[in-house]
Amino acid sequence: MSDTSFTPRVFSGIQPSGGLTLGNYLGAIKRFVSMQDEAYETVYCMVDLHAITAKLLDPKELHYNTRELAAGFIASGISPEKSILINQSQVPEHAQLAWIFNCIARMGWMSRMTQFKDKAGKNAEKVSLGLFAYPALMAADILIYHATHVPVGDDQKQHLELTRDIASKFNHDYGVDFFPITEPVIEGAATRVMSLRDGSKKMSKSDPSDASRINMTDDVDTIAKKIRKAKTDPDALPSEAAGLEGRVEARNLINIYAALSEQSVDQVLAEVGGQQFGTFKPLLAELAVEKLAPISSEMARLMAQPDEIDRILACGAAQAREITAPILKKTYDIIGMVS
Ligand code: TYM
């Protein structure tokens, strides 16, 4: 089955679960911004329905987080003129299609999701049903737009494979060519940004140590301090990528530098190879501040205008529903729901 008959359309989302990290920025948002200027329609989403799966948030906090994330998207360069910008709950077709997908996805498929296993840990009996069903909602987020391309960080790869499986099973079971087989877009030097305290762990907003991550709202001094204190090894930097083998922390800092400076790892190493971390870290801090400080000050400016953010999201939801309502209607028709 080919998906050439589908309009090239990008969908991606981020959870408003509090704070935006350098991992989100380099792994996802930077690519969201560049795809706006390529030959795609682009839809970007604050996935608020996903944000309550791990734990219920204080309603005021969820409200704040959603607006702050919207400010983060816009401050990073996502333009409401070029992209449809929404929060998930204002477009009810996401949740409606998710129910159908709950009936398509198999328990065995869902049980293999490593993120569920990581998040549930030894507590699988106590976590919410929503946490288990989460990847079916994610598939619905994507397929309710017939999205053909989904830019994400490396940690979302398995969820995108599941999305393809759900689309294929639906198409096969109903004998249609209705949902596209979506392409994951996992590209760039920093598809998996690691913790600054432990190079074997992903940088994450849920890590209890604030020193493990750079938050998009960190001030200049905090960014510099976190980079200065980042865990490293005693050796000098190599001149070629092969020399990063087995040096997870060094690789992480080089990947971050490469992604921020829009260079390849080899180009960066040609420039900084032979340097000790004492020399390299200030360069990285300076680059990070140069790239991130304008975003955080723009976020603060936007956060002072919450009505404007709400207006953009309402407008985005209206535009989104022009796409999602007919796709849901057609899905119901295929299934045989009376309307
Ligand atoms: P979330 O909110 O955990 O992360 C949002 C995006 O940021 C990327 N990311 C990273 N990339 C590189 N290094 C890191 N350390 C890092 N941490 C996070 C993630 O890969 C992701 O692209 N399930 C999704 C949200 C979602 C979604 C969707 C995404 C819901 N529906 C539909 C795409 C399409 C999630 O929890 O991402």
In 3-state terms, what secondary structure has residue 228? helix
Q: Are 224 and 285 spatial neighbours (Cβ–Cβ below 8 Å)?
A: yes
Closest CA to 262 of 287, 232, 295: 287
Read out DSSP for 28-83? IIHHHHHHTTSSSEEEEEE-HHHHTSSSPPPHHHHHHHHHHHHHHHHHHT--TTTE
If you search the block for the tokens 């706006």, which residue do you land on? 36
Closest CA to 23 of 152, 150, 138, 135: 152
Mean pLDDT taken over the chain: 96
For 264-292, what is the mean pLDDT? 97
CA angle 207, 252, 187 (to 5 degrees): 95
Q: Are 308 and 71 spatial neighbours (Cβ–Cβ below 8 Å)?
A: no
Q: Which atom of ligand 1 is nearest to the CA of 142?
A: 32
Structure tokens, 155: 């940690």
Q: Is the CB of 155 under 6 A from ligand 1?
A: yes
For 15-37, what is the mean pLDDT? 97
For 223-252, what is the mean pLDDT? 97
Going by pLDDT thresholds of 50, 70 and 90, the confidence category of residue 2 is very low
Q: pLDDT tens, 286-301? A: 999 999 999 999 999 9
Global confidence as pTM = 0.97
For 52-81, what is the mean pLDDT? 97
Q: pLDDT tens, 175-224? A: 999 999 999 999 999 999 999 999 999 999 999 999 999 999 999 999 99
223 CA distance to ligand 1 centroid (A)? 22
> Distance of alpha carbon 188 from its chain centroid, rounded?
14
For 270-281, what is the mean pLDDT? 97
Going by pLDDT thresholds of 50, 70 and 90, the confidence category of residue 4 is low
Q: What residues are paired with 215 via a beta bridge?
A: 21
Q: What residues are paired with 44 via a beta bridge?
A: 12, 85
**Buried residues in 203-224 as b, exposed as e (16+ CB within 10 A):** bbbebeeeebbbbbbbeeeebb
Give the per-residue pLDDT at 123.
86
Q: pLDDT tens, 105-144? A: 999 999 999 999 999 988 889 999 999 999 999 999 999 9
Q: Which of 157, 169, 205, 225 does the annotation list as catalytic?
A: 205
Residue 68 pLDDT greater than 90, yes or no? yes
If you search the block for the tokens 């980079």, which residue do you land on? 227
- Which of 22, 24, 158 to mutate for ligand 1's pocket (most ligand atoms within 8 Å of CB)? 24
Q: Which of 202, 226, 281, 291 does the annotation list as catalytic?
A: 202
Give the per-residue pLDDT at 1.
46
Q: Is the CB of 14 under 6 A from ligand 1?
A: yes
For 155-165, what is the mean pLDDT? 98
Helix 59-76 to helix 306-335 angle (10° resolution) is 100
The 8-class DSSP code of residue 233 comes to: -
